[in-house]
Structure 1
């Protein structure tokens, strides 16, 4: 029903960099039981009137006002009769579609061509509209590769409101109030356009589930006779030298406009750690050759262990074992120490392949994979090395040495030296014999921290040199191209974790170098940090009554989208908050210091306790797939969790955030 082409134009008299703003508008009116009518609008002074001259049951006005370097576009709708409506607009940017790249925070980067065709991307269409709650900031923006021009439209937020709908597709009349509009892009014609409107539509498809596109939706809001509705958007234009700087400038504009404030945390870091230790106790599995905390493929309804152990990524078995040992010794809880030591001893005896690498994943219903079936990821191997080196230094500080573990870790790191390619990269996945399974280099920065830690622990300079080469590759192929992808293991697309890996890699090298070299790593770290932070919410998306997350009072600021493919929020932070704080101090970046507080204070909100389980059956098992928009990983939809989750990594991530000096303490000479 919604025509992509807006036939008539509102020309604003105000100028932006000497160019008239060209906004095309339409109003769609729906009578219950009838297909909606789309009415093109044209300007008559400040009034928007039907181009065909026919009367409307609405009076619509539009105004542009200067606000600093931006323009605020205000649309006011007043009803002469009860009406169901949808208002839409397009901003003609003056940028050629062929030269355009788009940034919609936390969901769209460049043209999303790293994503599969089953997710929103230019593979499927060059014109998309999205509900605002899919985006970490309610903004759509375009960058001109040819001329360096940046244009953005940011929604000025209303009081958060949301309502349930009886249908998810087609033309739907909302059952109550919503504050959600839509933002999007249109490259179907020669000139790129930014689209926006209220209430939400999603076209040409809705992204409803992992790798699942479905029929579009067009929502209609009800306005009673005599009522007035005002909606505002902020339009900005600037210049950037590349797409990375475009993202940086747009992130800063969103931060300054949305002004996210830190919440009062529900629990202190020590209270959080104490609560999370229940996971160590309740998830412990000891009846297989590898002992482990069951960390993934658990049901939220019972949290019973699953017969599979994963050394890194989802399960983070080795890191959680060390966390249990450290906490247990600090607090005199010997059962945690015993469990942690049993896990690590079992991995020393049974957890390494014939080539000396960790078994990334072992499913005990199938048994250990044969050598020719083993597949490793550079990410999981690096995460395993990271955990064991933390353990070894901790043990050494307490007068205990583990020469067998030291030899095993040196063997893995020496293997890294052989695996590293001439350009400094590592294959994303490889066989036990070192041959590539997936030769793409997007996961390369995962290895950097392990190599730097190996250099600091063993004093072997070859590890430091290999780490430097990873960042040479990172700078040339990822940071300079703003192409952060394929770090997460359950998706291969633009993702947050790739940017966080880049931040972490450059931070580690800055910690062990001096002078100009150190400054280079700090500067690269800051560039990558803007991309990482672009996935983190600066606003609170609305929930309807009856959607559990809203009923629990969840504020989404400080939480983050996962990837284009996985459009939910989670607590994946690990070392990022304290690195962002460190960057803020190093660079005098007050926005970073404030964003650290927003993230740090927000992530305790869904801590399951005996009195407040937050939808998880066992206290301390922190939720993972937090579904904040109309998308789910497989079940339950907005306002709820997927039925399966992986608390192994959520506990490990929060534990790292609440241990902010851990890395600095390790890397000190």
Structure 2
């Protein structure tokens, strides 16, 4: 395939930091344009189109087929210093069902390239298994725009240190239901969703984009389940016109991380997400969420806990499953309820939290001294495999509890002894390269040696250093940062932090950014600056998972009917293609970075996150599809993907409000880490 855009040899580039934007040219003879038309009940027919230059016309080119077609295609081209604004007009001469696509060659050798579709595709998705979208299955992928945190595809040539991106600029207001999810489908109404992606065409990396949506060579319908390709056809009535707009850029970046940074800033500036004008104050959010602390309490087993995992959305009935961290966050919820109970003089919350803390101190540790991190009393089963992430999250919660108590003159020496012992065992677990195994057993034998969860351990190690004044823990934390810098951040390879997937995920980059943020808070001078720089670099990857635009829903899809705006919500991972409210301390990191680097995008977007994540608060008359007040939903299915049930516009039938409540509570309690480090 040929090129539409190339930087001519004689063009002069202007350097802006590490980004060099070249002069962009439109060369219609080298652009591939295709129109696919479908008559219901018949296979679609694809037509290649050819350009014709127009004179004295609003549009610059008309595109025709060798056959007479019922649709006329026009292009308007606005060339700028760093981009092309391409407006496409389709006019129907008769009623017709269509799918329009165009291919743009980058001129880069496909084998020399890494790829980027924000919130879905990073490099070649090689951390993901063949059952999910990745190069293991194909080196060419086209997806519906709603899968992406910005409707953009970028291709980065490592050899040339150059990139090209294409993004869609239209208003995204409509979506339509489809009766099928594969093959050639006719939409029930108008949609705003197009498609975007990349293809290997004769060894050349090529941007592929069009309207309405397509997915190829596979569609991704649920976790680790690829399905046949899909092409959607929209009805265009006789005399009806549709306008579509894309923007194409070229530039230079010294490495993939720099490419992601530049592209996120470009997307942020392009889509300009604004905070939502939500009527729920932080005080009201906490008051409502606190009902979860009361309703979910289970106190009939040796461990007392808030039941917050594997609940049905239509009942929210408590069960026998207690999980210290990850999706349960029992101890963090207990601390949040404890702190809030004292602030609001809620004796019920204080009493419940006391029961939880006392039960875990008495019955919540294994023989070796680790947390019993996942216990199922319904099945009389205790998971013998530990995770560095859950253990770390338990430590994190108890450190906040102890610091809060110490500040008020209350001491808990038994808890302190437990935490010291756990941190000392962490030192034994740590590998020579600074990493921690992802999963292990009570006897320290390794189950999963992957280092992707390492940054979760950094937080309690730094907290342990501050609380106990023990430099060994700080040294250990610094060694984790050495590993993060070498294996994750410098390689732009953030993986397997979430415990129910093995792939590229948001939480690995978010935890990496938070880990180096913690180290920045306790160091000075050049060391402080170094950790701050790492925080900034990792944060761009975490930010890239968060939506900068509002995905449209079809009438009848609950999330759209109740008005959900997706801006500020983060996609989860390549395997788990839904959005959620996982943020915890990340908004604090963004605000801190904003001050450190005088970068207003960070703090502005933190406010977008804060306001947007209030939308699905369940309260009487506004239950948002869950059964109990304060049980904030989790698996928010915003694209044609489901976790097992219900699909776009709904939740999975099973959810885990334990972590959603904890995440939102931290979001609405800013400055915790900085206050802890100041003590």
- Report the TM range for the smaller structure's normalisation: over 0.9
Does 189-198 or 167-176 show the bigger shift? 167-176
Match of 1:3 in 2: none
Instruction: Tell whether 2:350 aligns with 1:337.
Output: yes
- From the superposition, tell whether residues 12 and 294 of structure 1 become closer, same or farther in structure 2 (CA, over 3 Å): closer
Distance 2:605 2:208 in 1: 28
8 Å contact kept, 1:126–1:188: no
Instruction: Tell whether 2:649 aligns with 1:636.
Output: no
Instruction: Tell whether 2:387 aligns with 1:377.
Output: yes
Match of 1:226 in 2: 239
Instruction: Tell whether 2:660 aligns with 1:647.
Output: no
8 Å contact kept, 1:88–1:198: yes
Q: Deviations over 1:300-331 (max 9, x none)?
A: 00100121100000000000011111111111
Distance 2:540 2:582 in 1: 16
Distance 2:503 2:372 in 1: 25
Match of 1:215 in 2: 228
8 Å contact kept, 2:108–2:157: yes
Counterpart among 509, 514, 518 of residue 508 in structure 1: 518
- From the superposition, tell whether residues 396 and 88 of structure 1 become closer, same or farther in structure 2 (CA, over 3 Å): same
Instruction: Tell whether 2:592 aligns with 1:582.
Output: yes
**Counterpart mapping for 1:197-212 below 5 A:** 197-212=210-225
Distance 1:159 1:524 in 2: 35
Q: Deviations over 1:557-600 (max 9, x none)?
A: 00010000000000000000111011011101111121111111
Does 507-516 or 182-191 show the bigger shift? 182-191
**Counterpart mapping for 1:264-303 below 5 A:** 264-303=277-316
- What TM-score, normalized by structure 1, do the two folds share? 0.97
Shift of 1:266: 2.9
Q: Deviations over 1:115-171 (max 9, x none)?
A: 111111111111111000000000000110111011100011224101111222111
SS at structure 2 position matched to 1:204: strand
Instruction: Tell whether 2:622 aligns with 1:612.
Output: yes
Match of 2:51 in 1: 43
Instruction: Tell whether 2:472 aligns with 1:462.
Output: yes
Shift of 1:545: 0.7
Distance 1:234 1:564 in 2: 26
Distance 1:507 1:47 in 2: 52
Q: Deviations over 1:355-408 (max 9, x none)?
A: 100011001133254xxx621111111100000010011111121111110000
Counterpart among 477, 482, 505 of residue 495 in structure 1: 505
SS at structure 2 position matched to 1:520: helix
Does 15-24 or 417-426 show the bigger shift? 15-24
SS at structure 2 position matched to 1:649: helix
Match of 2:666 in 1: 656
Does 565-574 or 360-369 show the bigger shift? 360-369
SS at structure 2 position matched to 1:466: helix
Distance 1:10 1:527 in 2: 32
Kindly report structure 1 stretches of 4+ aligned residues shifted beyond 2 Å. 9-23, 46-51, 365-369
Distance 1:188 1:287 in 2: 63
Match of 1:438 in 2: 448
Q: Deviations over 1:264-313 (max 9, x none)?
A: 12311111111011101110000110110001000000100121100000
8 Å contact kept, 1:102–1:110: yes
SS at structure 2 position matched to 1:44: strand
Match of 1:33 in 2: 41
Shift of 1:419: 0.7
Q: Deviations over 1:166-214 (max 9, x none)?
A: 2221111111110000001112531001110000011111101111111
8 Å contact kept, 1:544–1:550: yes
Instruction: Tell whether 2:437 aligns with 1:427.
Output: yes
Does 650-659 or 262-271 show the bigger shift? 262-271
8 Å contact kept, 1:12–1:64: no
- From the superposition, tell whether residues 339 and 420 of structure 1 become closer, same or farther in structure 2 (CA, over 3 Å): same
Match of 1:176 in 2: 189
8 Å contact kept, 1:10–1:42: no
**Counterpart mapping for 1:160-171 below 5 A:** 160-171=173-184
Match of 2:149 in 1: 136
Match of 2:634 in 1: 624
Match of 1:360 in 2: 373
Distance 2:478 2:4 in 1: 53
Match of 1:407 in 2: 417
Distance 1:10 1:37 in 2: 25
Instruction: Tell whether 2:259 aligns with 1:251.
Output: no
8 Å contact kept, 1:630–1:638: yes
Distance 2:399 2:199 in 1: 50
**C-alpha RMSD over aligned residues:** 1.4
**Counterpart mapping for 1:150-169 below 5 A:** 150-169=163-182
- From the superposition, tell whether residues 128 and 390 of structure 1 become closer, same or farther in structure 2 (CA, over 3 Å): same
Distance 1:426 1:642 in 2: 32
- From the superposition, tell whether residues 12 and 140 of structure 1 become closer, same or farther in structure 2 (CA, over 3 Å): closer
Match of 2:340 in 1: 327
Distance 1:279 1:438 in 2: 34
- From the superposition, tell whether residues 39 and 368 of structure 1 become closer, same or farther in structure 2 (CA, over 3 Å): closer
8 Å contact kept, 2:26–2:84: no
Match of 2:17 in 1: none
SS at structure 1 position matched to 2:31: strand
Instruction: Tell whether 2:184 aligns with 1:146.
Output: no
Shift of 1:14: 9.2
Distance 1:163 1:37 in 2: 23
Q: Deviations over 1:507-543 (max 9, x none)?
A: 1000001000000011110000100000000000000
8 Å contact kept, 2:3–2:104: no
Distance 1:523 1:661 in 2: 20
Q: Deviations over 1:593-635 (max 9, x none)?
A: 2111111111000000012101111000000000001001000
Counterpart among 598, 603, 612 of residue 593 in structure 1: 603
- From the superposition, tell whether residues 178 and 348 of structure 1 become closer, same or farther in structure 2 (CA, over 3 Å): same
SS at structure 2 position matched to 1:187: strand
8 Å contact kept, 1:581–1:593: yes
Match of 1:395 in 2: 405
8 Å contact kept, 2:174–2:553: yes
Distance 1:169 1:631 in 2: 12
SS at structure 1 position matched to 2:193: coil
Match of 1:317 in 2: 330
Instruction: Tell whether 2:96 aligns with 1:83.
Output: yes
8 Å contact kept, 2:554–2:560: yes
Shift of 1:492: 1.1
**Counterpart mapping for 1:446-595 below 5 A:** 446-595=456-605
Task: Give unpaired runs (5+ residues) of structure 1.
Answer: 1-5
- What TM-score, normalized by structure 2, do the two folds share? 0.95
8 Å contact kept, 1:14–1:20: no
8 Å contact kept, 2:24–2:83: no
Instruction: Tell whether 2:121 aligns with 1:125.
Output: no
8 Å contact kept, 2:617–2:624: yes
